[in-house]
Amino acid sequence: MTGMPSYEAHIDISHLPGVADPAGSTVERALPALGYDNVSGLKIARSIKLVLECASEAEAKRQVTEMCERILANPVIENYAVSVTELARP
Amino acid sequence: MTGMPSYEAHIDISHLPGVADPAGSTVERALPALGYDNVSGLKIARSIKLVLECASEAEAKRQVTEMCERILANPVIENYAVSVTELARP
Protein backbone atom coordinates (compact mmCIF):
# COMPACT_ATOMS: atom_id res chain seq x y z
CA MET A 1 0.00 0.00 0.00
CA THR A 2 1.36 3.35 -1.04
CA GLY A 3 -1.47 5.61 0.09
CA MET A 4 -2.15 6.44 -3.55
CA PRO A 5 -5.64 5.96 -5.01
CA SER A 6 -6.50 2.67 -6.70
CA TYR A 7 -7.89 2.38 -10.20
CA GLU A 8 -9.51 -0.54 -11.93
CA ALA A 9 -8.53 -0.89 -15.56
CA HIS A 10 -10.51 -2.87 -18.11
CA ILE A 11 -8.77 -3.70 -21.38
CA ASP A 12 -10.50 -5.18 -24.42
CA ILE A 13 -8.09 -6.78 -26.86
CA SER A 14 -9.38 -7.88 -30.25
CA HIS A 15 -7.86 -8.75 -33.60
CA LEU A 16 -7.20 -5.91 -36.03
CA PRO A 17 -9.57 -5.92 -39.02
CA GLY A 18 -8.29 -8.40 -41.61
CA VAL A 19 -6.40 -10.55 -39.12
CA ALA A 20 -7.72 -14.11 -39.05
CA ASP A 21 -9.47 -15.36 -35.89
CA PRO A 22 -9.11 -19.16 -36.25
CA ALA A 23 -10.62 -19.94 -32.84
CA GLY A 24 -13.69 -17.87 -33.63
CA SER A 25 -14.05 -19.41 -37.11
CA THR A 26 -13.81 -22.91 -35.65
CA VAL A 27 -16.54 -22.24 -33.08
CA GLU A 28 -18.73 -20.63 -35.74
CA ARG A 29 -18.36 -23.67 -38.03
CA ALA A 30 -19.32 -25.99 -35.15
CA LEU A 31 -22.60 -24.22 -34.38
CA PRO A 32 -24.82 -25.47 -37.26
CA ALA A 33 -24.22 -29.09 -36.19
CA LEU A 34 -25.69 -28.16 -32.81
CA GLY A 35 -28.77 -26.65 -34.42
CA TYR A 36 -27.64 -23.00 -34.49
CA ASP A 37 -27.67 -22.05 -38.16
CA ASN A 38 -28.48 -18.36 -37.68
CA VAL A 39 -25.13 -17.18 -36.32
CA SER A 40 -22.46 -15.22 -38.21
CA GLY A 41 -19.47 -12.98 -37.55
CA LEU A 42 -18.35 -14.80 -34.41
CA LYS A 43 -15.15 -13.31 -32.98
CA ILE A 44 -13.28 -14.34 -29.85
CA ALA A 45 -11.35 -11.63 -28.04
CA ARG A 46 -9.47 -11.25 -24.78
CA SER A 47 -10.22 -8.95 -21.91
CA ILE A 48 -8.00 -8.11 -18.98
CA LYS A 49 -8.96 -6.57 -15.66
CA LEU A 50 -6.40 -5.25 -13.21
CA VAL A 51 -6.04 -2.89 -10.28
CA LEU A 52 -3.24 -0.37 -10.04
CA GLU A 53 -2.19 2.27 -7.54
CA CYS A 54 -1.38 5.53 -9.25
CA ALA A 55 -1.22 9.26 -8.56
CA SER A 56 -4.07 10.15 -10.94
CA GLU A 57 -6.54 8.66 -13.39
CA ALA A 58 -4.64 10.17 -16.34
CA GLU A 59 -1.40 8.60 -15.13
CA ALA A 60 -3.18 5.23 -14.63
CA LYS A 61 -4.50 5.33 -18.19
CA ARG A 62 -1.06 6.27 -19.53
CA GLN A 63 0.58 3.37 -17.69
CA VAL A 64 -2.02 0.81 -18.79
CA THR A 65 -1.69 1.93 -22.42
CA GLU A 66 2.10 1.56 -22.17
CA MET A 67 1.67 -1.93 -20.63
CA CYS A 68 -0.62 -2.87 -23.55
CA GLU A 69 2.04 -1.80 -26.07
CA ARG A 70 4.82 -3.63 -24.21
CA ILE A 71 3.32 -6.85 -22.85
CA LEU A 72 -0.48 -7.16 -22.66
CA ALA A 73 -1.33 -6.89 -26.35
CA ASN A 74 0.43 -7.46 -29.64
CA PRO A 75 -0.03 -4.17 -31.50
CA VAL A 76 1.06 -5.76 -34.78
CA ILE A 77 -2.14 -7.84 -34.97
CA GLU A 78 -4.32 -6.58 -32.12
CA ASN A 79 -6.40 -3.57 -31.22
CA TYR A 80 -6.92 -2.60 -27.61
CA ALA A 81 -9.31 -0.32 -25.77
CA VAL A 82 -8.50 0.83 -22.24
CA SER A 83 -10.96 2.17 -19.69
CA VAL A 84 -9.98 3.20 -16.18
CA THR A 85 -12.22 3.93 -13.20
CA GLU A 86 -11.22 5.02 -9.71
CA LEU A 87 -12.06 2.56 -6.94
CA ALA A 88 -13.76 3.88 -3.82
CA ARG A 89 -11.31 4.23 -0.95
CA PRO A 90 -11.94 1.82 1.88
CA MET B 1 -31.01 -13.96 -45.03
CA THR B 2 -34.28 -14.89 -43.44
CA GLY B 3 -35.91 -11.45 -43.24
CA MET B 4 -35.71 -11.67 -39.46
CA PRO B 5 -34.05 -8.88 -37.49
CA SER B 6 -30.35 -9.19 -36.63
CA TYR B 7 -28.97 -8.90 -33.13
CA GLU B 8 -25.41 -8.42 -31.97
CA ALA B 9 -24.55 -10.41 -28.86
CA HIS B 10 -21.62 -9.64 -26.60
CA ILE B 11 -20.60 -12.34 -24.14
CA ASP B 12 -18.09 -11.82 -21.32
CA ILE B 13 -16.69 -15.08 -19.99
CA SER B 14 -14.59 -15.01 -16.82
CA HIS B 15 -13.46 -17.54 -14.26
CA LEU B 16 -15.77 -18.26 -11.35
CA PRO B 17 -14.51 -16.82 -8.05
CA GLY B 18 -11.95 -19.22 -6.56
CA VAL B 19 -10.96 -20.77 -9.89
CA ALA B 20 -7.27 -20.25 -10.65
CA ASP B 21 -6.32 -18.00 -13.57
CA PRO B 22 -2.77 -19.19 -14.36
CA ALA B 23 -2.36 -16.99 -17.45
CA GLY B 24 -3.35 -13.91 -15.46
CA SER B 25 -1.05 -14.82 -12.57
CA THR B 26 1.87 -15.36 -14.93
CA VAL B 27 1.42 -11.96 -16.57
CA GLU B 28 1.03 -10.29 -13.16
CA ARG B 29 4.27 -11.88 -11.93
CA ALA B 30 6.12 -10.67 -15.04
CA LEU B 31 5.13 -7.01 -14.59
CA PRO B 32 7.52 -5.96 -11.75
CA ALA B 33 10.53 -6.96 -13.85
CA LEU B 34 9.32 -4.46 -16.47
CA GLY B 35 9.04 -1.71 -13.89
CA TYR B 36 5.34 -2.05 -13.06
CA ASP B 37 5.23 -2.84 -9.35
CA ASN B 38 1.87 -1.22 -8.62
CA VAL B 39 -0.43 -3.76 -10.31
CA SER B 40 -2.55 -6.39 -8.56
CA GLY B 41 -5.59 -8.56 -9.22
CA LEU B 42 -4.85 -9.11 -12.89
CA LYS B 43 -7.38 -11.45 -14.53
CA ILE B 44 -7.59 -12.54 -18.14
CA ALA B 45 -11.04 -13.33 -19.51
CA ARG B 46 -12.57 -14.12 -22.88
CA SER B 47 -15.15 -12.16 -24.77
CA ILE B 48 -17.16 -13.28 -27.76
CA LYS B 49 -19.07 -11.16 -30.24
CA LEU B 50 -21.52 -12.64 -32.72
CA VAL B 51 -24.46 -11.71 -34.89
CA LEU B 52 -27.64 -13.77 -35.03
CA GLU B 53 -30.93 -13.56 -36.86
CA CYS B 54 -33.83 -14.11 -34.54
CA ALA B 55 -37.53 -13.35 -34.20
CA SER B 56 -37.11 -11.15 -31.11
CA GLU B 57 -34.53 -9.78 -28.69
CA ALA B 58 -35.80 -12.07 -25.93
CA GLU B 59 -35.43 -15.09 -28.18
CA ALA B 60 -31.92 -13.97 -29.21
CA LYS B 61 -30.89 -13.66 -25.55
CA ARG B 62 -32.38 -17.08 -24.77
CA GLN B 63 -30.49 -18.71 -27.64
CA VAL B 64 -27.16 -17.07 -26.76
CA THR B 65 -27.52 -18.15 -23.12
CA GLU B 66 -28.22 -21.72 -24.26
CA MET B 67 -25.18 -21.61 -26.57
CA CYS B 68 -23.05 -20.42 -23.60
CA GLU B 69 -24.21 -23.40 -21.52
CA ARG B 70 -23.62 -25.87 -24.35
CA ILE B 71 -20.50 -24.73 -26.20
CA LEU B 72 -19.25 -21.17 -25.67
CA ALA B 73 -18.49 -21.32 -21.95
CA ASN B 74 -17.70 -24.00 -19.40
CA PRO B 75 -20.28 -23.41 -16.64
CA VAL B 76 -18.35 -25.64 -14.23
CA ILE B 77 -15.53 -23.11 -13.95
CA GLU B 78 -16.75 -20.04 -15.81
CA ASN B 79 -19.22 -17.22 -15.39
CA TYR B 80 -20.77 -15.55 -18.39
CA ALA B 81 -22.68 -12.34 -18.98
CA VAL B 82 -24.74 -11.90 -22.14
CA SER B 83 -25.90 -8.63 -23.64
CA VAL B 84 -27.88 -8.39 -26.85
CA THR B 85 -28.63 -5.33 -28.97
CA GLU B 86 -30.67 -5.09 -32.15
CA LEU B 87 -28.74 -4.04 -35.25
CA ALA B 88 -30.21 -1.33 -37.44
CA ARG B 89 -31.82 -2.79 -40.56
CA PRO B 90 -29.98 -1.88 -43.73
Mutation site, A28, A47, A87, interface B, largest B CB count within 10 A: A47
What pLDDT shows up at residue A3? 82
Alpha helices in chain A (DSSP H): 22-30, 57-67
Please name the residues in contact with B57: beta carbons below 8 A apart, sequence gap of 6 or more: B7, B84, B86
In a domain, B1, yes or no: no
The 10s digit of each residue's pLDDT in B7-61 is 999 999 999 999 999 999 999 999 999 999 999 999 999 999 999 999 999 999 9
In a domain, A50, yes or no: yes
How many residues does this entry show for chain A?
Answer: 90
Q: Do A12 and B47 touch (CB under 8 A)?
A: yes
Does A13 touch chain B if contact means CB atoms closer than 8 Å? no
How many structural domains comprise chain A? Answer: 1
**Contact indicator for B72, B52 with CB cutoff of 8 Å:** no
In the predicted model, residues of chain A with pLDDT beneath 70 are 1-2, 90
In a domain, A26, yes or no: no
What residues make up the domain containing A50? 6-19+45-86
Q: In this structure, how many other beta carbons lie within 10 angstroms of the beta carbon of residue B77?
A: 11
pLDDT at B1 over 60: no
- Position B31: which residue type? L
pLDDT at B88 over 90: no
Q: Do A63 and B2 touch (CB under 8 A)?
A: no
In a domain, A35, yes or no: no
Q: Do A12 and B67 touch (CB under 8 A)?
A: no
What pLDDT shows up at residue A90? 66
pLDDT band (50, 70, 90) for residue B3: confident
